[in-house]
Amino acid sequence: MPPLEFHPNKTSFDAVNALAMAKAAALAYKPKADVLKTLASWGFPRARFFASRGTEGFVAARDDLIVVAYRGTQEREDVLADAKLKMVPGKG
């Protein structure tokens, strides 16, 4: 599979970026071994998985891009976790 195509300098909607993020979100539902294999084929040598209070997903990195992908809301606990989003100041 070719590397994941992404236009990192876009500041408005981009169909290529939307497709890339949709692929990453769909990948979050796969078993870890499949995720790692696909990410490697997309050019992401590093990935970490997370699961906390109903939120699951992965973070993957390559030299030009970091992707954070979450599974969607599936259960009541997921809705409660989604509702606890807090905005905080950040750098950049």
**Nearest of 9, 5, 8 to residue 24 by alpha carbon:** 5
Widest CA span of the chain, in angstroms?
A: 37
Q: Could you list the pLDDT tens digit for every one of the 92 residues in the chain?
A: 677 888 988 999 999 999 999 999 999 999 999 999 999 999 999 899 998 877 889 999 988 889 999 887 666 665 566 566 677 787 75
**Nearest of 43, 4, 1, 46 to residue 23 by alpha carbon:** 4
